[in-house]
Structure formats: structure tokens, C-alpha cells
Structure 1
Amino acid sequence: MILPLNSNLSSNTSFNENFNTSTINSFDFLINLNLSDSDLTIHQIEQLKSLLVKYYKRFEDTLGRTSLVQHHIDTGNTKPIKLHPYRVSPYRKEIISNEITKILNAGIIEPCASPCAAPITLQSKKDGSLRFCIDYRELNSVTVGDVYPIPRIDDTLDQLQNATYFSSMDLHSGFWQIVLDPASRGKTAFISHVGLFRFRVMPFSLTNAPATFQRLMDLVLGGLKWSCVLVYLDDIIVYSSSFEDHLHHLDLVLQHIQQSVSRQGIQPDPDKLRAVQEYPVSTKLKAVRTFLGLTSYYRRFIKNYATIAEPLIELTRNSDLKSFQWTEACHQAFSTLRQRLIEAPIIAYPRFDQSFILQLDASDVGLSAILAQKLIDDDNITREHVIGYASRTLSAAERKYNATERECLAIIYGCNYYRPYLEGTRFTAITDHKALKWLHSTKDLNSRLVRWTIQLAAFDIDIQHRPGSENSPPDSLSRYPIDAAVNDDNNDDELSSSIISSLSSNIHFADNINLYKQIRTAQWNDSSLLPLLNFLQHQIIPTTDNLNKFYGLARLHRVIDGALYRTFRSCCSTDGQQPIISLSSECLLLVISASEIPRILQIAHDHATAAHLSRRKTLSRLISRVYWPHMRRDVTNYVRACTLCQQYKPTNQKPGGFMKPIIVSEPWHTVGIDIAGPLPKTRRANTIAQLFFDDVIYRFGFPVRVISDNEVQFLSKVFIQLCHILGIHHQCTPLYHPQSNLSERINRTVKPILASFAHNDSKSWDVKLSQITFALRAAPSESIESRPAFLMFGRHPYQPIDLLHPPPAISDYLPYKENLSDYRKRLLAELMPAYKAARELLDLSH
């Protein structure tokens, strides 16, 4: 039973102050209400009328105000937003005047003096008439959001699965029954040719208005929500399993819903069944047979199916293409059958106490997924009913997949599309590709199928095979899918990992959507541009000694929509491109404040759509759109300093010379330092500077030179100043070439050894590190014959392995067997072969 009503809650105890609007005789209207088209008996109609007459005041045309909630607009410390009215024709001016008079007399608005002003706009309705609207986009952009939950319509409809009686009612101008907080009223001021007005109640166009209204309805309904009442803003439905219960529920609530509901099922918004509703009309024999395969599967639900489909069936009886003629009768049969597919009893409510069936198919051009359930009908026979249809076209890359990959992609598509129904429950997926039955048990899968198998692991899915001849519905939809761009508007809240990766790589592009507003705000925050803006916008004369120069500068600028533009007589780019904005013989270039110049350069050069092009091309992109002083110089410097351009673009300069090894003449002359990590934080938590000076400098002495990379720790003021005070020359390696740091290679050796010794106690690695470095100093180097410890100290360290022999006598150490001069000669002699080998390797790469 469908009962549309027009109601408001003005006589509810929470709605106590009425507007001065006209009323209708709701009592007489309800007495004479014609319900003969409903499914109710005469006795039930009389019972229902008695109930409605009992609450006849609920159906008055007067508006009330609720005391339960007030709407507040929080804009923080944002400056008042003032915009000029839009220019309109005399015809539209008359419409605006009439509408303002109407709502002014109704007490909806009131005249005001406010620093805010929003323009009026007239939007076309579907019937061609005009709707009076206020353009609150600027106000909404600075309003702090209210995240009160708004129910999903599909989740709401899913709750109606066991109900057989429904009534829907319409809240009359529900938003206007909520009082606007007096402190917020000035922010809603709108400007027109007849004056400045503000709202006394909550207008429709505010960003947080739906959340406030949903909060109100949840408060009014209390515990009734989800038990016998479903709410979506002012669209509300009362549902019951019996007529007696329904009368009791109607005794509590009055609301309206914009969905068509019947005892057999729902007739959703056409968008929900677009895959079938937009099934293309094709006059080819093969396409007609495919369509008949789809409709024939559900023929037991379509009354007089054979009669309706006869013109199409007759076409397929003769395979002679010359005699194939598409007639008006064929077109009528096609349209009728297509419509029957999306009507009850084929379409049914989802029953979450029953298992779901996901029918899938993939063709060379598209994917399809049909969600169904086996339900018991009124004749106690179990039949398969459709919950929803879905299909999409394949992308160019997806069409290159093999058959198994396309069929598996169909499963991924169906599971993600119907995730709200399938997640957390066991269901059956039916495919005509038999190989997918062993998808979870097969080990020989390519990387793409492995990734998809991991995604499907989140579902409790039983994949079953059905021959193609018995899988007609999804097969038909996959061969004639709707466009993917249209079908993307589904109810899936989660994007696939590939889509997320694609969006993440270009997420900075989304940040530029509000770029114009941000540049305009930056202009008003720029002290050098503020005098110009105030003079051109508010006629405020600045306090300056050279007013003539200021006036000359002001003549070169204009303020449009609160933004500052530079005017030029001619401002074509170097390639002849015309300016984006032009007025008669002038072109307008948006002025960029100093704080926004780096961002604009990044968009014009670094962005994926800018492609790191040359200085001239980057300048050409900017010069016809924006302006700031010294733009050519800034663009030149930015492009020359671009790291990626230097790394990857070819250069016309001569290649660099041969690299030279670092020559040292004595021990501890040059020290290389580097950071390895990340490592767990130890109890000692030493800093870089403290560690270097305590454990290195004060133990081994001051080196002449320290080489490090460009880590921030080595470029800190503390580290640089300490090196300067101690007379140590600090040298950084070239950018993107860490190989020139002496310690880089030793770190590659230390890391795996450290990991093997500290795996049981990760926070003791700093203790193990001392033992490891001792072992490396005492071991012979591969590039030189002597051990590092000997080259540093002129003697070999005594190690635990040396306990196998008696300790040497003291006389063996004194005097040294080699004097200092001989030791230095030996050191250089052993180092020179290493220098020579390194130089040959470096020269080969140049």
C-alpha cells in the first residue's frame, strides 16, 4: 500500500511558533480523501481516515518553528564575505522581486544591515520554470563542517524487506521550520536590486543544513527510527508488517519518501538499474538473440512473456539476414521486456537472513554482475529474484587481458560493487569460466591473478561454474555494457588499490581545485597589494608620499570578484596564445602575491601536465595567465635550479672531467662520516654531534678534513660551528652522488653483520657495534695488504685469538722496528695501488 501525504509537524509540541501564512481546510480534505486506488478494504480505508482526521492539524499549510534545535554557522575568524549582485534581465528581476516579497511576508526573511552579502541566482527546474536560490558557495567554503551522519538511501531501503504496509508523508518546507541562530543570521544576508535581506530560518543552500535537519528528525522520532520509521532528511517512510501495526505506527509519525514501494518489491531510482534500463536497442540478429537469452531466463516472472516476445522470436526463426526487418512491433516488444526486467516481481528486497548469488560474466568489451537471491514466493515456490544489475565497459588495457584474467576481473568488480551486501556473509559466485573454480588452490598464477586472489580473500566466496548456455543474464549485460564513466556512480565506498594508487600519484592536482580562492585570499594578506585592493574595491586612499605614482599603478589594475588583476593592452604569449580573460581591447592577468609564486611555478613547471618543459615554454604558459614583477627572472632561476631537469634532461655542455681519488699523506688526515639507519632507539640515545666528538675526536685526535653527505644532522649549526672552532675542514659530497663519501662502502659491510648479532636484542646494537668495528679494523682489507688498525696506529691489535700463543716480550715493541718515516713510506706504497684501481674504475664511467 502506498499512501503519499503532505504533512508538516507544526502542531507538534516541539513546533510552537507559526508563520503568518495561508491555511487550507485540511479537515474537509481528509474527509473527502479518495483511497479507492489503494489495496485496502473499505473497512481499512475507514479506519485510516478516522486516524488521519484525528490528526488533521498535522496537515495544515502553516509553517511552524521547532525549539529542539537551532542552526548555527561557524566561520571562525574569517572576514565577512561581500559579493556584488549578479546582473539579470528585467524579466528575472521581476521574478526575484516577487519571490522576495513572498518570503518576506511569510516571515522567512527580514531586512538587515550586514557586512555580508551573497548574490541571488535563478536555477532552471526540469519543467522549465526558475527556482529562487542564494549563492552561498563562498560562505560554505569558510564554514566549519558538521559531520552528523546522513543515512544512505540504499541501506534505508534494505530495512523494508519484511514489511507489507507503507505510508509516506512530506514535511512541508522542513528546513524553514528550524530557527536560525540570531548570531548567524547576518552571515546569510543576500543582496538584490530591492535591498539587503537575511534569513530568520535555516535556508536550503547552507553546507550544514542537511546535518542539522537530520539531527532534528532523529530527535523528534526518538526510538522509532529503524523499528517502524526510516528517515532520510525530510523523506521519511512508515512501514509495518500488518495493517493493525501500521495504524499504530501512523499514530506516531507522519512523513514522506520519494521512492515507490509495493508489497512485491521496490522500484528504485532508474540509476540503480541503469545496466538494464540503458541496454541498447540493436537491430542485428545476434544482438536480438542475446537479448532474448537475458529475458527468457526470467520469463516465469513476466506475465504473457511468449505473447510479448513473439515479434522478436519471429525475427530469430529465419536466419536469412536479407529477410531481417526491425519493425515497430519489434521495438515495442523490446521496450516492454526491458522495462519488465526492472519491475516487480523480478526485483526484490534483499533478505540478509538468506544467502546471496552473484552472477558474473566478462566479454571482449565489458563486465557484468547480477546480485540475486532464491526466495519463496506467495505460491510457496522458491525462485531466483534479482536484487540489482551492474555492468561496465573494459578499458583499453583490460581488453588485452586473457580470458581467465577478464573473468576474474568480473568477480573483483562484482564483489566491490555489491560489497555492502556481501561483506561478512557467505555467498556463491557463478561464472561460466570453469578454471576460476580452482582460483584459490592453484599455485601457478601470474602476478595480476595473485593480487586479485588476495583481494578476494576478504570475502567468504564459493565460486561455482555454470555453462555459458545457462548463464544468459550476465552474458547479455557483459556484451552490451553501459559506459564505465556512467556506471562509476555506484554505491561502493571503497576504491580499489589501483585507483587509490592512481589518485595518490596525482593528489596534488586535487589541491589546486580551490587555487583561485587561495590566491585571492593571499592577495588580501599581502601588505604590498592591500593598498591597491582597498583603493579599487573600497575607495580607501592610502597614506603615501607619492600619490601620483600610486594612481598610475592603480590605473593598471582592476578588481573583479574580489581578486586583483593587471591590465594590458596586448599580452599574447610568445607562441601567440591569447589570454585566458579579456575585456574588449584589454586582457586581464591575475596578480600573484609573493607567497604564492613558488606554488604557481611548481604548477607551471613540475606538475605532470606541465612536464618539466623548458624555460621558454614554462614562461609562455604563465605570461598569458598571471602576472607578478620579475616573472622572467623567477622562471629562469626556477627552471635552472630544477633538480629533475638537471638529472634527466640532456645537456649541451661539455661532460665533467675525470674524477680524482682523495689523496692523504698521513694517518687521520681525512675522516669520512655517514649515518646508517633507521635503527631502534637505545637507552643511551646519543646525538650525532655528541657521538662524533666524544667517541671519535677526543679518542683519536682532530682530523684535517671531515667528509659527509648532505644529511641535516651534518648541516646543522652546531656541527658546522664545532668544526669551525676546532679548525676542521668540513666537506660535503655532491648531491645525488654519495659514492664520494669514504664511509658509504663500509656501512654496506657493517649493516648485515650488525643485524645478525643484534637480532635477539635490537636495543643493544650500539654495544655490538663497537665489537664489530674492532673486528673490521683488525681484519685485512681487500684493496690493501695491511690491516686498517696497523695503518692507523703502526701496530697490530692484540685479539682473543692471540691467546693461543704466549704474549710477546716488551722488548719486541721497543724500539719500533720501523721509524715514522719508514712507516709513512710503507703506508703510501700500500695505498697507491688502491688509488690506481679506483681511478681506473671511475675513468671507465666518464
Structure 2
Amino acid sequence: MPKRNISRCVMDEVKIARRHGPPGGRRCGGTVHITDSVTTTVITVVSKVTDCTDETREKMAGLLRLRAETISVSDDDLGSKAIKQAPHRLPVRQNEDVETHVQRMLERGLIEPTVGPWFSLMVLVNKKDGSSLFCVDYRELNEVTRKDAQLLPRIDATLDASAGAKWITTLDLASGYWQVEVDGRDHEETAFAIPLGLNQFKVMPFGLCNAPGTFQRLMQRNLSGLVGNPAYLLRDERRASHPHKGDVQTASGGVRLKMKPEKCQLMKKQVIYLRHVTTPAGIKGDPQMTAVVQQWCILRCVREVRQFLGLASYYRLFIKDYARVADPLHELTRKGEKWHYGPSQEGASKLLLVSTLVLGHPDFSRPCALDVDDSDAAIRAVLNQTKEDVLRYMLYCGIYTVH
């Protein structure tokens, strides 16, 4: 099945323009929306007609524009059939929650009733506090979607942006995705089914494969006035508080996105950001996540071991001798290895993240020293730096288990 061309993403204030086809243009409410590629194709075709007057060529171009939906501009714009998933019956106990979620979104103007050929299935996900989260399963829609290759910032690069900071501010948007409008032509593809009928999103929902890239592009546009990489919300202030205030004002302006005050951290010496604690002295792991790992119950199967190692590995840069400590657990995940969860494995799971290192911020104006080592179980490389005659760790270190 050919994938539909939805790669076009035009930011007009906070609106998304997404396209699922048909080729070239689309009728919506009696209006044909014509893409730039169709206009270029029409001009090219008409320019090759030499046996008629300019007036006739202009009339021909107008006729072609009226039939824009029939013009193919590439091999990938033939489109696909509308996604219509087989409906399933909701558990009776969820009916009231679904009605509450839908009614709340209708009142806020986030969704609207619809009739059309598209719809995906909604699911309720239970949260730890006993409430439910309303989600839509867009996996089948994503399969026929041309992916947006917008790069997302690396976590380590984002954390590096706080190097040299005296004051740190983080701004948390209130339902950030829902502050981005979906182009009216593409509402129908976001439709979801509930027992009472179909509704479609007027704002960008979670679950669309191109939603993260679209939101990142919006943030880059909104932060374009900041010095340095505009993708980072963590900004440094090396001299005084005034530049920092200006950065905060720039970040909070732009397209006037609304923030959630209780989740914003203003003018702090220490903030928790991306599951890390960032301070002027350096960066360390989030103590709350450390506590989660420490409270993990006994691992009962290979799947649970991999889940545990995945969480622990997220903070491997901050764990002294991580590879050596984690090696007994890695042994359980090796192909053909017989399951044996003994004292060494249990001890390894308890040692991980009990104590974490504080990695200093890099200062690229100073020389660095590379410290390497290896053993039968692991290899190690740590980039050190001296500051005020004291050797400290930098953010760049890697310790890997030898398999």
C-alpha cells in the first residue's frame, strides 16, 4: 500500500498543515487546496504548449488547477485507503470514564463530532492514582504516513547547554500538543470511535508518528531569538541576571504558548530536568528514579531483567563501575544461558544506583584527559578535566560490558 504524503508541515502561528492526499490538491467544503508542487507541475505542462496563444494557455492552466486533485506530482502521492479499524466493545466499567473524557474535550473545543471514512480506536490507560488516560491507537494510520525526519535534540546535548549556568529556568507547557491546531483539511484522519459515534481532533493528539517532530519544530521557532541552539530550554547566564530574564521573556513569547505555572522552575540553582538533577556544580541522576530501582522486587524472568537493566542503564554514566556491577545480570540475558537468579544477581540489582556520581560540566576552554581501562568483564573510557587543581569527571564517559 503506497504511503500518503503528509510530510508537508507548515507553521502559520501554531497551525499544522498535514496532507494525506489525494494527489496534488483536496476538496474540503467546496474549495480545492492546491500545493506548490501542483502549481509548478501545471506551469511546466502549460509552458510546453506552443501552438496556441497566451490567453489560451492561461485558460488551460486555470482548468488544470480546478482539477488539481487529479494531478500526480510524484510516485508516492497516489494515497491509500481510509483507515477504518474494527470496533471493539468497551468494558462496562469504562463507559462512564469514556463519556467523561469525551465531554470534557468537547467543552474545551479540542474535538468535534464527525462523519467520515476514517477512524481509529480509543483506549483507556489506567494511571497509578486510579484515574484513566484517554488515548487513541493510531498505529494503523502511522503505517500509511510518510514520516517526518525532524531531528529531536539529544538529552546529553540538552544537559550540556546548562554548562556555566548560575541560574536555570525550565518552562513546562500546559498540554503542549493540544496548543497546536491541526489543519482543517486533516481533521478527519484523526477521528476516533466511541460507542456513541465518531469524533475528530481539532488539535494535535498524542500518538501520531509526526507529532514529536512537529512540536519540536514549533519549539525551535519559538526559541529562535535565544543565543545559541534554540532547541534548548536550559539556558546559561554567566554574568548577571538580566540576560537570563531576557531569555525567559523570549522563550515565553513567540507564538504565545501557555505554560503550567506549578510545573515551571524559575531562577533556580538546582532543577530536575529530563530525569536528571542539574546544578552549577554538575549533573547527577534523579533521586526519585534511583529510589524506584532500589525498591524493585526480585527479578523473575529475562524480560524483567532487561526492563531493569534498561532503567538502570539510563544512568550508567553516573554509576561507578556500572559494567562490573551489572555483569551478573547481563549473563542472564545471553542467548542459551540457563536461568539462575542467585546471590550475585540479587546483589547486583541492589548495588545499582545506590550511590551516583556528580559529573561536572565540561569547560571546553580547558584541556581534557582521557582515562581508559579494561578487564575481562568490561572496558571503560572516562574524559576527565582539571579545575582549580582538582580532578573531576566530565559528562563524557562510557563503561561497557564485554559480551
Q: Same fold (TM over 0.5)?
A: yes
The answer to whether the Cα contact below 8 Å between 1:176 and 1:201 also exists between their aligned partners in 2 is yes
Compute the displacement of 1:274 (Å): 2.5
Instruction: Determine the C-alpha separation between the residues in 2 that align with 1:126 and 1:360.
Output: 43
Q: Which residue of 1 aligns with 2:248?
A: 250
1:182 partner amino acid: G
1:67 partner amino acid: E
Compute the displacement of 1:216 (Å): 1.4
The answer to whether the Cα contact below 8 Å between 1:81 and 1:138 also exists between their aligned partners in 2 is yes
The answer to whether the Cα contact below 8 Å between 1:354 and 1:373 also exists between their aligned partners in 2 is no
Instruction: Determine the C-alpha separation between the residues in 1 that align with 2:207 and 2:249.
Output: 33
The answer to whether the Cα contact below 8 Å between 1:66 and 1:179 also exists between their aligned partners in 2 is no
Is 1:351 the counterpart of 2:377? The answer is: no
| Structure showing greater Rg | 1
1:191 is paired with a residue of what secondary structure?
A: strand
The structure showing larger relative contact order (alpha-carbon pairs under 8 Å, at least 6 residues apart) is 2
Compute the displacement of 1:277 (Å): 7.2
Q: Which residue of 2 aligns with 1:114?
A: 116
- Post-superposition Cα deviations, 1:538-576, rounded to whole Å, max 9, x if no partner, equal xxxxxxxxxxxxxxxxxxxxxxxxxxxxxxxxxxxxxxx
Q: 2:15 aligns with which of 57, 60, 69?
A: 69
The answer to whether the Cα contact below 8 Å between 2:123 and 2:134 also exists between their aligned partners in 1 is yes
Q: 1:222 to 1:93 in 2, by over 3 A?
A: same
Is 1:213 the counterpart of 2:221? The answer is: no
1:123 is paired with a residue of what secondary structure?
A: strand
1:382-401 counterparts in 2 under 5 A? 382-395=390-403
Q: 1:183 to 1:194 in 2, by over 3 A?
A: same
2:223 is paired with a residue of what secondary structure?
A: helix
Structure 1: which 5+ runs fail to align? 1-64, 283-330, 396-846
Instruction: Determine the C-alpha separation between the residues in 1 that align with 2:191 and 2:180.
Output: 17
Is 1:261 the counterpart of 2:278? The answer is: yes
Q: Which residue of 2 aligns with 1:371?
A: 382
Q: 1:88 to 1:225 in 2, by over 3 A?
A: farther
Give percent identity, aligned residues only. 30
Instruction: Determine the C-alpha separation between the residues in 1 that align with 2:14 and 2:133.
Output: 29
Instruction: Determine the C-alpha separation between the residues in 1 that align with 2:353 and 2:82.
Output: 55
Compute the displacement of 1:278 (Å): 8.9
Q: Which residue of 2 aligns with 1:239?
A: 236
Instruction: Determine the C-alpha separation between the residues in 1 that align with 2:106 and 2:322.
Output: 49
Instruction: Determine the C-alpha separation between the residues in 2 that align with 1:196 and 1:278.
Output: 55
Q: Which residue of 2 aligns with 1:360?
A: 372
1:131 is paired with a residue of what secondary structure?
A: strand
Instruction: Determine the C-alpha separation between the residues in 2 that align with 1:265 and 1:374.
Output: 13
Q: 1:224 aligns with which of 226, 230, 233?
A: 226
Compute the displacement of 1:135 (Å): 0.4
Compute the displacement of 1:113 (Å): 0.3
> Between Structure 1 and Structure 2, which shows a larger proportion of helix residues?
1
Instruction: Determine the C-alpha separation between the residues in 2 that align with 1:222 and 1:100.
Output: 36
Q: 1:244 to 1:201 in 2, by over 3 A?
A: same
Q: Which residue of 2 aligns with 1:825?
A: none
Compute the displacement of 1:115 (Å): 0.4
- Post-superposition Cα deviations, 1:406-439, rounded to whole Å, max 9, x if no partner, equal xxxxxxxxxxxxxxxxxxxxxxxxxxxxxxxxxx
Q: Which residue of 1 aligns with 2:189?
A: 187
The answer to whether the Cα contact below 8 Å between 2:374 and 2:380 also exists between their aligned partners in 1 is no
The answer to whether the Cα contact below 8 Å between 2:113 and 2:199 also exists between their aligned partners in 1 is yes
The answer to whether the Cα contact below 8 Å between 1:348 and 1:385 also exists between their aligned partners in 2 is yes
2:16 is paired with a residue of what secondary structure?
A: strand
1:224 is paired with a residue of what secondary structure?
A: coil
Structure 2: which 5+ runs fail to align? 1-10, 22-76, 253-258, 265-272, 287-311, 326-346
1:28-177 counterparts in 2 under 5 A? 67-74=13-20, 76=77, 77-125=79-127, 129-177=131-179
Q: 1:203 to 1:385 in 2, by over 3 A?
A: same
| Root-mean-square deviation over aligned CA pairs | 3.2
1:5-24 counterparts in 2 under 5 A? none
1:362-761 counterparts in 2 under 5 A? 362-364=374-376, 366-376=377-387, 380-395=388-403
1:223 is paired with a residue of what secondary structure?
A: coil
2:167 partner amino acid: Y
Aligned residues: 270
Compute the displacement of 1:122 (Å): 2.0
Compute the displacement of 1:338 (Å): 6.0
The answer to whether the Cα contact below 8 Å between 1:357 and 1:372 also exists between their aligned partners in 2 is yes
Compute the displacement of 1:170 (Å): 0.5
Q: 1:225 to 1:175 in 2, by over 3 A?
A: farther
The answer to whether the Cα contact below 8 Å between 1:123 and 1:131 also exists between their aligned partners in 2 is yes
1:170 is paired with a residue of what secondary structure?
A: coil
Instruction: Determine the C-alpha separation between the residues in 1 that align with 2:86 and 2:369.
Output: 57
Compute the displacement of 1:116 (Å): 0.7
The answer to whether the Cα contact below 8 Å between 1:82 and 1:115 also exists between their aligned partners in 2 is yes
Instruction: Determine the C-alpha separation between the residues in 1 that align with 2:130 and 2:280.
Output: 35
Compute the displacement of 1:340 (Å): 4.4
Instruction: Determine the C-alpha separation between the residues in 2 that align with 1:125 and 1:351.
Output: 42
1:381 partner amino acid: D
The answer to whether the Cα contact below 8 Å between 1:71 and 1:212 also exists between their aligned partners in 2 is no
Instruction: Determine the C-alpha separation between the residues in 2 that align with 1:370 and 1:280.
Output: 12
Instruction: Determine the C-alpha separation between the residues in 2 that align with 1:190 and 1:68.
Output: 23
Instruction: Determine the C-alpha separation between the residues in 1 that align with 2:383 and 2:127.
Output: 37
Q: 1:374 to 1:239 in 2, by over 3 A?
A: closer
Compute the displacement of 1:129 (Å): 4.3
Instruction: Determine the C-alpha separation between the residues in 2 that align with 1:278 and 1:123.
Output: 38
Instruction: Determine the C-alpha separation between the residues in 2 that align with 1:355 and 1:121.
Output: 54
1:239 partner amino acid: D
- Taking structure 1 as the reference length, the TM-score comes to 0.30
The answer to whether the Cα contact below 8 Å between 1:148 and 1:211 also exists between their aligned partners in 2 is yes
2:158 is paired with a residue of what secondary structure?
A: helix
Q: 1:92 to 1:389 in 2, by over 3 A?
A: farther
Compute the displacement of 1:97 (Å): 1.5
- Post-superposition Cα deviations, 1:134-159, rounded to whole Å, max 9, x if no partner, equal 00011111111222222212112223
The answer to whether the Cα contact below 8 Å between 1:202 and 1:209 also exists between their aligned partners in 2 is yes
The answer to whether the Cα contact below 8 Å between 2:162 and 2:168 also exists between their aligned partners in 1 is no
2:187 is paired with a residue of what secondary structure?
A: helix
The answer to whether the Cα contact below 8 Å between 2:181 and 2:202 also exists between their aligned partners in 1 is yes
- Post-superposition Cα deviations, 1:708-756, rounded to whole Å, max 9, x if no partner, equal xxxxxxxxxxxxxxxxxxxxxxxxxxxxxxxxxxxxxxxxxxxxxxxxx
The answer to whether the Cα contact below 8 Å between 1:84 and 1:117 also exists between their aligned partners in 2 is no
> Between Structure 1 and Structure 2, which shows a larger proportion of strand residues?
2
- Post-superposition Cα deviations, 1:180-199, rounded to whole Å, max 9, x if no partner, equal 11111011110011210000
Instruction: Determine the C-alpha separation between the residues in 1 that align with 2:225 and 2:165.
Output: 18
1:147 is paired with a residue of what secondary structure?
A: coil
2:244 partner amino acid: H
Compute the displacement of 1:80 (Å): 0.5
1:93 partner amino acid: N
